[in-house]
A and B are shown apart, each in its own frame.
Chain A
Amino acid sequence: MKIGIVRFPGSNCEVDVWEAWRVLGQEPKMLWHQETSVRGYDLIVLPGGFSYGDYLRTGAIARFSPIMEDVIHFAHEGGMVLGICNGFQILTECGLLPGALLRNKDLHFLCQPQYLRVERTDLAFTSLYQEGEVIQIPINHGEGNYSIDDAGLKELEENGQVVFRYVDKTGVENELGNPNGSRHNIAGIVNRTGNVLGMMPHPERVVEEIVGGTDGQRLLLSLVQAWERRMQYGA
């Protein structure tokens, strides 16, 4: 599987994503933001960090990076794109995903373990999870408060585009389980065609027990499985 990880100036989770893939037996490639083509890749990952220092607005400058033009093109043609944290912010800035990520409701940056409920398992990103399963993946952001207008929210929910929701330990979505004030406890969404996922939690941080857990593994492995199927059946 050919995986490309885009490195913007100020990205800081690109190496973690790279290492996570290697733990799972893949050999991803780093793509510099000034490159202009992502042709031939099976998956593009936009990693976490502070691209361009998050100056102006998170993700707002990164979307103008030379590589993003082709990433957008790639996504429109059905290419798989995963945006994590700052990567999610970039995806909303460039219009591949709806909504916006505002400052956390208590205004503090938060780095902590977080319970999530998996809402959809019919996606290439999540097929190895159980529907409704509660998993633990850490968050690490100051601006993860997912915001969208009422009409947009209604559309998201009706189309089943919410993939991960913040919940409490028992799997209930409530205020206690919502760390940042996101509408409808939204932690991750997918586009309508199911090939672009943006999420605030960091799955790459939980692929090894020794550093805190393995609940992130199945997200990455789902993608590998989907790719293998595609290779096998050409679907």
Chain B
Amino acid sequence: MEPRIWREMGLTDEEYERVKVLMGREPNELEVGIFGVMWSEHCSYKTSKPILRRFPTEGPQVLQGPGENAGIVDIGDGLAVVFKMESHNHPSALEPYQGAATGVGGILRDVFTMGARPIAVLDPLRFGPLEEENTRRLVRGVVEGIGGYGNSIGIPTVAGDVYFHESYRGNPLVNAMAVGLLEHRHIAKGVASGVGNPVMVVGARTGRDGIHGATFASVELSEESEAKRSAVQVGDPFMEKLLMEACLELIQSGAIVGIQDMGAAGLTSSSCEMASRGDSGIDMDLSLVPRRETGMTPYEIMLSESQERMLVVPKAGCEQEVEAVFHRWGLEAVVVGKVTADGMLRLLENGQVVAEIPAKALTDEAPLYHRPTREPEYYARLKEQKLDGVKAQKGYGEILLDLLGSPNLASKSWVYRQYDHQVGTNTVVKPGGDAAVLRVRGTNKGLGMTTDCNARYVYLDPYVGGALTVVEAAQNLVCVGAKPLAITDCLNFGNPEKPEIFWQFEQACAGIAEACLVLETPVTGGNVSLYNETNGEAIYPTPTIGMVGLVENLEQVVRNRFSEPGEEILLLGEVSGSLAGSEYLALFEGVEAGALPPLDLREIKKRLDFMLSLIKEELVMSAHDLTEGGLAVALAEMAEGCGARVSVQGENELELLFGERLGRILFTVKPQDAGKVQELAQHAGVSVTRLGESGGEAIAMTVNGVMMLEVAIADCQRVREETLPKALN
């Protein structure tokens, strides 16, 4: 075989040699294509796996850790929450509507294929500068695509985040997380077992769309990427809605052994992964696969990424039951093969064998790379950069308004108004809260959920920044009254073959692992998206964390707005922040530098536990974590119905007002409870400082007794609300 062939299929010369050894012979072209896609970074995690193995993945609450279509965590009452996050970055860069829409479709399938009914979608998005027309085009397309899919299928999109930064200019990030609920007894898995059991293709027909999507996701974007537009799939939410209803009905009927979504690498990955997990083989006759177009080759059928399809292994004799369920929903279900004992993925065309590969050679035997790492030159330089000389260039009130109106801090209501965030009528805390909360019907419980990542922190200090993504997610959950349970992650990085990028990856993952360990939120799965570069420029390292938490009593849910005038405003944690890596520094000085404040995860865990205990005792009226923009911005965000008067003491006004430091929570209590809260804080060994009280029509802040700013809340709201509509309508 000519080297050109395997190279085009994405295999290196060494990998091709490995294929020959595993096969014991020269593979044919179809087999090479199958290896090429299964050993792509997207499917095999060959670069990231050695690092991901360091994540803590166990805990008493974990029912299913990494390795399945989605993770599963127990929430009591015989119920469990199923969740996972994935990226759809490259498709969205080329075709924002369809790229984002199919990202939602894919992640929903991962959840309902486990037997869970999806109850929510979350979408973390990253774009280039909002001032640029191309960014605006992408934002409009992506938001419309997410809404177009999620709204039609009837799953609420309840949270997410949106940031703009030049590192995402050519390579936006479109991550999607889905959360579902199931009863323990209905857990389904992607496993093919039981020799002689049939193998069925169900759902949409197979076409030529999306061929090579997985390989495409594993290379950098360039000018030539435009030519690969056909690698972007097209979604049909109506079809998926029918598929979802049919699959859930089927799983609950008990007629099946295993089921898996055909996502990246379609029929190829679903068949060999199911066989591999079941320690069995699969024989499939590709001429039986229902097709949308004629003349498709076995290669095209195996590599197609046509959406809204599933591979199902029913119990022998249940084929007609499967057909009946799918026909009722107007869908096809066709037997294409059977489970065998020999561990081979054997493909036939009209009865002739066209490929024969040991299933585990495609999965467990994929190569693993231990890439070299090198600390990038910028790291020490930016860390040592002194920020002492930074002085405010205008009045603090003006600074506050500028920050509130800046694209990263401005209200994202332009985005989430386009998402149906209420269908299902379970949304208790809507978008705009610190975390979304959904009620669990039939119980008094709720599920908190959030996605977070401050990529600037991760860039400046990947270890600390990585840990802080987990901290931010946890503090968001705690602020609504949810106890953090577990995470999924979507690790978006540049080209791992560059030692500096792989260093970022390794460091960030180490930070995430440590934070997950201390905060007791194990990793239950996720997705790695590497090669996020355009013409050689990498994105900021963006390990997005999706976290779910449990609200034991829905009546105790806390919101991030002052409830009424006269509440005592308290701050949990350090009063002063740091300008290092802050939004203030980026916006007013054009600088992203500095050493992040020292990280003390155990101290943060203590604070989060303390906060949850206060909420449980119903002492907290409102709560909000301090993130970008620091104390002044957090106060302004809480002041929807009424303002606040606060005074703080300290050395540096800028750091006090706008400095950032995670692990801090602003909260309010009734005046008569303030003393008790202080006592409890002392007992718990955490620092709680009284800052002032809610009331009035303005945010007024004094430092060391001197009034620093006084801004009407109506002005704060106006600037927050007008930025996105102005740029995007």
Contact = CB atoms under 8 A, between A and B. Distances in A.
A208 B424 CA distance: 13
A50 B237 contact: yes
A211 B425 contact: yes
A210 B422 contact: no
Nearest to B153: A12
A45 to B, nearest CB: 15
A77 interface: no
Interface string B710-729: 00000000000000000001
A103 to B, nearest CB: 12
Interface in A182-235: 202, 204-205, 208, 210-212
B689 interface: no
A229 to B, nearest CB: 28
Contact of B242 (A9, A54, A110): A9
B126 to A, nearest CB: 21
Contact of B238 (A20, A53, A112): A53
A109 B152 contact: no
A138 interface: yes
Contacts of B416: 111
Nearest to B330: A9
A111 B420 contact: yes
Interface residues of A, number: 30
Contacts of B236: 53
A10 interface: yes
Q: Which of B144, B238, B239 has the most A CB atoms < 10 Å from its CB?
A: B238
A53 B152 contact: yes
B427 A211 contact: yes
A202 B420 CA distance: 12
Assign chain B's interface to a size class. 20 to 34
B22 interface: no
Contacts, number: 84
Interface string A1-24: 000000001101101100110000
B241 A12 contact: yes
A52 interface: yes
Given A110-B418, A111-B418, A111-B419, A10 B425 contact: no
Nearest to A32: B328
B190 to A, nearest CB: 26
A208 B419 CA distance: 21
B423 A210 contact: no
Contacts of A111: 151, 416-422
B329 interface: yes
Interface string B429-441: 0100000000101
A205 B430 CA distance: 13
Contacts of A53: 152, 236-239
B596 to A, nearest CB: 37
B129 interface: no
B554 interface: yes
A12 B425 CA distance: 11
B426 interface: yes
B428 interface: yes
Given A13-B154, A108-B417, A19 B241 contact: no
B152 A210 contact: no
B113 to A, nearest CB: 20
A49 interface: yes
Nearest to A106: B729
Interface of A: 9-10, 12-13, 15-16, 19-20, 49-50, 52-55, 106, 108-112, 138, 140, 142, 202, 204-205, 208, 210-212
10 smallest A-B Cβ distances: which pairs?
A12-B154, A53-B238, A50-B152, A16-B425, A109-B418, A111-B420, A109-B147, A10-B238, A140-B420, A211-B425
Given A55-B238, A106-B729, A211-B425, 4 more contacts: A12-B153, A50-B151, A111-B421, A211-B439
24 contacts: A9-B241, A9-B242, A10-B238, A12-B153, A12-B154, A13-B423, A16-B423, A19-B441, A20-B425, A54-B152, A108-B144, A109-B419, A110-B418, A111-B151, A111-B420, A138-B422, A140-B151, A140-B422, A202-B422, A210-B554, A211-B422, A211-B425, A211-B439, A212-B430
